Amino acid sequence: MRQRRQHRAAAVLAVLSVTTAGLAACGHDTGTTAVRIAGDRVVIPIGSGTAQIDTTSLAVTADAAGQRYELSAAAVDALGAAGPVQIDGGRARWSYPAHGLTVTATTAEGRLRVTVQSDRDGKLVWPVTGGDPAAAALQIPRGEGLSMPVRDAFWNGPDTGLVGEPLSLTSGLTMPFWGYTLGGRGVAYAVPTDIGSSLTVNSAGGRLLASGAHDFAPQDGTGNYTVSFALTDDSPVAAARDYRAQLIEEGQFRSLRDKIAANPRIGRLLGAFHAYLWGDGRDPDTVRKLHDLGVSRMWLGYDSDDRPMSAAAVKAAQDAGYLAGPYDSYDNAQDPATADNPGSRWPGTLWPDGCVHHADGTPETGFGGRGCYLSSQVLQQDPQLYHDRYAQVTANGADSYFLDVDAAGEFYTDHSPGHPMTEQQDRDNRLTRMRWLADDRKTVLGSEAAGSWAAPVLAFDHGAQNPISDRLWKFERDKQVWGAYYPAGAPRAFFQPVDLPPDLAEAMFDPAYRVPLYETVLHDSLVNADRWELSYYKLPQQQTMRALTAILNQTPLNFALDRATIDAHGAEIARLQQFFAPLHERTGTLPMTDFRWLTGDHLVQRTVFGDGDLTVTANFGTREYNGLPGGCVDAQLKGDAAPRRLCPAQ
């Protein structure tokens, strides 16, 4: 149940971030705000220029600073004859009667905003982006984020699990936006109507093109599709800056500083590494050993099996300044008589009556073919079910909680007569119960691969750190190589080191392609770590890269630990954590305000947090850069006379 189904700042700094994003989007409207018609085109302000929408095809261009840019090619399918365009102040409206579509275009905060409304079920593949000859790189928030040169042979090839695979904007990407670098400028696209929407990257003529799409189903609440377009600068994180600005403008951003004020325990995440404990790792003496080694802050989790941390072990963790809590899931139900884990046993007739059902009446099979997916609607009808569950699993005094799946963005339509549900209702239900856990119960709440929609209710997430390739799931199924879920005290799936195939390692871990889109948007909102099965010692070939990335992005490492692992690696874990902690304690509540490549091969990278509070330079290559050796990172805190250096492999 850990992975989804395989197919599938201070106020001043907040203002600073919005201002920066506004500048990146070419400022607010500086010319006329009037919308006008020119033949078959609607002309509308965008930043300091104008955009033109061809009403015959929905192709979009923009003129700015004497240059014309293609923002979208025509919609993939013919739309039929367009009705007359009506102008109402700052917006234009027209329809495509043959397809029951109505289009509204306006300008907002320097962006072009287009909404397509449908009165019937159907699909629209649009915008079609990347066709401008000047398009040089595509940025998508797959996990932390990727920036891929559009003519890169690797990404245009078949070994990435990307090309041709529709990416749901709620679960395939961590945030519903993408961007292109166009020479000395960029274009950012964002889709606030993410449910029912997707992005597909295709290779055409050796170039990466990205097409948005939306499935209209008015009865299911997906009758509207909105896309915003912004002209930005050429930073690889410009689209993320623009999206962050939108979240703040719309009141959808909540800072980590605000969360800590509401629940001071969340402050223990600052400077903490994360780890799941197994076997004798859950003993009080083992927890105390971590602290005695010099590990000042940790988040400690444990699986929902029959041997949770004892009250004594939880107290030992809390006495050490750590957080401790269980992994749990509300997403699976199995027959209580045969369930393979305690978390899938629910009282009464929740199995099978509470299963999500398809339109044909069959249940939605649970992850790995086990049981069924449990409807969030049936739990929302009787929330005491999960209230009791929480009380039971935290009776040991746990002050943190990891609720798997809920924030991952995979939503369901439930056709069960007793608890019908749309995908939007499913999301609302998940937000309601996560908000209860975080606000009512005052738990330090985390969830899986948290989408931006879930960030306001969470303190941390596991899984949004890495750009996961779908090819990983196939690799993990090879239990001889990856390891199985036994022995119980130290499952080989978590403790058996493995070397990834070269193409999978490149798709997920090559620093030349990875860019911190997620941290640009959400660094000062929640703490982001990697997936539980991708623990630090699981992938020995990626350890240096991941340690450098943890410092560069100010994101904690995640471990799987038992007593033997602590005996073998405890001193190294302490050394890494002692370097990370004083930096993250200063920057965890600050935004990431800059990211850039310092070399043409993208292997030397720099980040800035807050108003220059911390500047980090990481050298992922093998050659020295301005005195910084390959495989090392320099971190310069404001006020320090010299940077602090970490060379993880030494």
Residue 29 has pLDDT above 50, yes or no: no
Mean of all residue pLDDT scores within the chain: 94
Q: Output DSSP code: residue 367.
A: G
pLDDT band, very low/low/confident/very high, at 3 (cuts 50, 70, 90): very low
pLDDT at 89: 84
- The pLDDT value recorded for residue 620 is 98
Round to whole Å and give the CA distance between 612 and 606. 12
Q: How far apart are CA 592 and CA 516, in angstroms?
A: 9
Q: Give residue 621's region: left, alpha or beta (phi > 0; psi -120 to 50).
A: beta
Distance CA 160, CA 507 (A): 6
Q: Where in the chain is the domain with CATH 3.20.20?
A: 256-331+374-595
Helix (H, G, I), strand (E, B) or coil at 49: strand
Instruction: Evaluate if residue 121 carries a pLDDT over 90.
Output: yes
Q: Token pair 């629940």 is at which residue?
A: 263
**CATH 3.20.20 corresponds to the domain 256-331+374-595:** yes
What is the 3 state secondary structure string of 613-630? CEEEEEECCCCCECCECC
List Cα–Cα distances, 432 to 93, 174, 266, in angstroms: 36, 20, 20
Please count the other Cβ atoms lying within 10 Å of the Cβ belonging to residue 272.
27
Residue 107 C-alpha from the chain's centroid: 27
Measured between alpha carbons, how far is residue 114 from residues 48, 93, 367, 618 in Å?
Answer: 18, 10, 37, 40
Nearest CA to 633 out of 571, 558, 553, 515 is that of: 553
Determine what percent of the chain is predicted with pLDDT higher than 70: 95
pLDDT at 25: 44
In 3D space, the residue among 370, 383, 384, 376 whose CA is nearest the CA of residue 354 turns out to be 376
- According to DSSP, the β-strands at 49-54 and 60-64 are antiparallel
For residue 475, how far is the Cα from the chain centroid?
22
Report, as an integer, the average pLDDT of 286-303. Answer: 98
Cβ(26)–Cβ(238) below 8 Å? no
User: Which band of pLDDT confidence, cut at 50, 70 and 90, is reported for residue 1?
Assistant: very low
Place of tokens 């029951």: 100
Q: How many residues are recorded in the chain?
A: 650
Q: Which residue spans of the chain are classified as CATH 2.70.98?
A: 15-249
At the topology level, CATH places domain 15-249 in: Beta-galactosidase; Chain A, domain 5 (2.70.98)
Q: What was the pLDDT predicted at 13? A: 37
Closest to 83 in 3D by CA, of 73, 97, 72, 71: 97
Calpha distance 184→238 (Å, rounded): 12
| SS3 (DSSP) at 374 | strand
Q: Are residues 243 and 521 in contact, defined by beta-carbon separation less than 8 angstroms?
A: yes
- Residue 561 contacts residue 275 (beta carbons within 8 Å): yes
**CA nearest 255: which of 526, 510, 534, 489?**
526
Q: Which amino acid is at 77?
A: D
Cα distance between residue 150 and residue 204, in whole Å = 10
pLDDT at 306: 86
Instruction: Give me the pLDDT at residue 305, please.
Output: 85
Q: Is the pLDDT of residue 7 over 50?
A: no
> What is the per-residue pLDDT for 33?
60
- The answer to whether 432 touches 380, Cβ cutoff 8 Å, is yes
- Taking 70 as the threshold, does the pLDDT of residue 2 lie above it? no
- pTM recorded for the entire structure: 0.95
pLDDT tens figures, 225-241: 999 999 999 999 999 99
Share of the chain above pLDDT 90, in %: 92
Q: Can you list the alpha helix ranges (DSSP code H) found in 293-333?
A: 311-319
Identify the DSSP state of 314.
H
What is the C-alpha separation between 127 and 114, in angstroms, rounded? Answer: 10
Q: Say if CB 425 and CB 384 are below 8 A apart.
A: no
* 435 vs 176: CA distance, rounded Å: 22
Which stretches does DSSP call E strand in 36-97? 36-38, 41-46, 49-54, 60-64, 67-72, 86-88, 91-96
Q: Degrees (nearest 5) of the Cα angle 243, 248, 252?
A: 95
Contact indicator for 619, 603 with CB cutoff of 8 Å: yes
Q: Which of 19-23, 334-338, 444-448 has the lowest mean pLDDT?
A: 19-23
Q: How far apart are CA 226 and CA 92, in angstroms?
A: 14
- pLDDT per residue over 542-563, tens digit each? 999 999 999 999 999 999 999 9
From residue 21, how far is each of 110, 523, 598, 610 by CA, in Å?
11, 15, 21, 14
Listed in sequence order, the residues at least 6 apart from 462 whose beta carbon sits closer than 8 Å to its beta carbon are 274, 402, 446, 447, 448, 449, 529, 530, 531, 532, 558
Strand, helix or coil for residue 19 = helix
Q: How far apart are CA 301 and CA 323, in angstroms?
A: 8
